[in-house]
Chain A
Amino acid sequence: MSHFDHGQIPSEYTAYIGRKAVFLGGLTLLTGVLLVMAVSLGAVRIPAWDVVQAFFGQGEDPRFAVIIRNIRLPHALAGLFAGAGLAAAGAAMQSILRNPLGSPFTLGISQAGAFGAAFSVMLLGTGTMQSSQVGAVSIINPYLTTLSAFAACMATSLIIIAIARIRGASPEVMVLSGVALGSLFSAGTMFLQYFADDVQLAAMVFWTFGDVGRAGWPEVWFMAVVVTAAVLFFVFNRWNYNAIDAGDETAKALGVRVELVRLAGMVVASLVTAVIVSFLGIIGFVGLVCPHIVRRIIGDDHRFLLPASTLTGACLLLTADIAARLMFAPRVLPVAILTAFFGAPTFLYLLIRRRGR
């Protein structure tokens, strides 16, 4: 049937979509600028032009090249991909769970990661103290700790998926299961902390401070692949999420297999979050609030919300990373401490400002 062929494309709509495209273009540019700044700024200042040249493999100064290649660039890229992955997962989770408080951590993943790390520190003996370092504490065997944290993250996801399979993938079931599992893993962590000695306790707490400094090139590559795949997956589902936002019944009537979309989205969001958390520790706020910042500016349409959240997450974490290096130089703060310092005031401002244009 074809009844509505006589319409025209309104020029105002084309202009409206054009404005959103410009916003996305601006964010992409900002991300690029922040990436260069994140590599350029720090205890040793590298001129921006050298950074750009180094990106294209044409670095002149070998001293800079080493700093860029071995320290700054992997850290900056870790921040970029972690921020992007967490924010994209957050935007998707808010739609999947039909809940504005949805975030990559709603399903108890951060608590599970902390438990996994604590378990590894205590029972696998991977935590120790290092007096010479600024951080004071370090993990002897980061791979084992990472693996343990990842296993715990995936365990919570798999339990929730199993529950969703049995009881139907409704948002209520998922959110409440996540709350219950999060509490369970917190209790587990407290149990381990109670019996831990000073060194172990310090290592456990230290692990939870999300820090891009833990990432080397292998971790960055791994995160890049997982985050890129996840973002593409979410973007591929953009109209499905728009349909779910209109109500489950409407979505079903539009041919969306709501339960499947929900379950698949949750699996991908959990996976990307588990990878980031187990490599870098817990970085809160980005996944919860970045999508809301973007919603306030360009609305709930996932065609734009998903890419814009991804870029905003990357920008926020790069900004926090730069500040973490400059604020108490030569001390470098874990980036997770600063994300909320930058994001919260922005968000509160947008919240107070009258909605709409």
Chain B
Amino acid sequence: MILNVRDIRIGYNGRLVLQGLDFAVDRGQVLAILGPNGVGKTTLLRCINAMLKPRTGAVLVEYADVFRMHAGEIAKRLGYVAQRNEAGRMTAFDAVLLGRKPHMRWKISEADLRKVDAALKQLGLDHLALRHIDAMSGGELQKVCIARALVQEPSVLLLDEPTSSLDLKNQLEILRTIRHVVHEHKLAAVMTMHDLNMAFRFSDAFVFIKDGRIFCCGQNTELTPDMVQEVYGVPVDILRHQGQAVVVPQMAGC
């Protein structure tokens, strides 16, 4: 297992938000973290990345504890794509080059520039390399941010709602790219999602969080309507369409 999350407990202002979470992700696997608003999905991602320190528990990346690493070392192992990204007047190339920061010394090396070029090509952004990111669409900017996380050359990619506020085409493109990169480079990805159908379509496994605990988890084939109903309080049917599980809320529940 490339990422192990063990008994994470974390709280704000005396209230325990996450009350002991355990899960693991393998190489080449995309894990979707699902659950209602405010359940602590983003908190969990921040905790995996050591931006937040939990009260107890450990996060192991390739069997090394992230809470014992310094910030630069964490940045070499974990890439993080935040939900909200600021866009200054910088070219896409320079914005992605920023992802090499954990590996940089005083000067940028030719290898850094080559990696940026390769990442831009991987995300189909090479024709926009010199476009300023403040003039880009939401989908393009999101791809730049993913490319930036990829040139960190991490083992694990953390994505906080990577498709929120994107249109259907961009959602599909981004998720397809993430899955492709993870499978191709044998990384692991953990992403929080709200859209269940997109999550089940593009992830390999899921974790449902409810009331600060893991309610259930498993491979996508193990999903049942009861799980969704228990977590979201909405009765649903799970249909099969071209081999894909599709979650459809029941009319009576609307």
Chain A positions within 8 Å of B, measured between CB atoms, are 1-10, 12-13, 16, 239, 242-243, 245-247, 249-250, 252-257, 295, 299-301, 356
Contacts and interface: CB of A to CB of B under 8 A. Distances in A.
27 contacts: A3-B185, A4-B114, A4-B116, A4-B119, A7-B113, A7-B116, A8-B114, A13-B113, A13-B130, A239-B104, A242-B98, A246-B98, A247-B86, A250-B85, A252-B71, A252-B80, A253-B75, A253-B78, A253-B80, A253-B82, A254-B98, A255-B74, A257-B71, A295-B89, A299-B91, A301-B90, A301-B94
Contacts of B151: 4
A5 B71 contact: no
A242 B86 CA distance: 11
A144 B73 CA distance: 49
A309 B116 CA distance: 27
B101 interface: yes
Contact of B71 (A3, A10, A239, A256): A256
Nearest to B94: A301
A9 B85 contact: no
Contacts of A13: 91, 93, 113, 129-130
Contacts of A4: 114-116, 118-119, 122, 150-151, 153
Given A2-B153, A254-B152, A243 B98 contact: yes
B145 interface: yes
A23 to B, nearest CB: 15
A13 B130 CA distance: 7
B155 interface: yes
B74 A3 contact: no
B102 A247 contact: no
Contacts, number: 130
Contacts of B115: 4-5, 7
Contacts of A246: 85-86, 88, 95, 98, 148
Interface in B107-126: 110-111, 113-122, 126
B64 interface: no
A6 B76 CA distance: 19
B40 interface: no
A300 B134 CA distance: 11
Interface string B140-179: 0000010011111111001000000000000000000000
B53 interface: no
Contacts of B129: 10, 12-13
Contact of B90 (A7, A242, A253, A254): A242
A346 to B, nearest CB: 18
B49 interface: yes
A141 to B, nearest CB: 45
A91 to B, nearest CB: 12
B132 interface: yes
B249 to A, nearest CB: 32
Contacts of A10: 93, 117, 126, 129
Contact of A247 (B46, B51, B84): B84
Nearest to A260: B71
A255 B118 contact: no
A254 B117 contact: no
B135 interface: yes
Nearest to B76: A255
Contact of A245 (B46, B76, B88, B118): B88
B200 to A, nearest CB: 27
B185 A1 contact: yes
Nearest to B126: A10
Contacts of A245: 86, 88, 90
B94 A243 contact: no
B121 A255 contact: no
Given A249-B80, A253-B75, A256-B101, A3 B153 contact: yes
Contacts of A249: 46, 51, 80, 82, 84
B96 to A, nearest CB: 10
What are the nearest 3 A-B pairs in CB distance? A7-B118, A7-B117, A255-B75
Contacts of A16: 91, 130
Contacts of A239: 98, 101, 104
Contacts of B212: none
A196 B124 CA distance: 69
A256 B70 CA distance: 10
B110 A9 contact: yes
Nearest to A246: B86
A16 B152 CA distance: 23
B101 A253 contact: no
A243 B154 CA distance: 17
A19 to B, nearest CB: 11
A1 B78 CA distance: 11
A7 B119 contact: yes
A254 B98 CA distance: 8
A10 B70 CA distance: 33
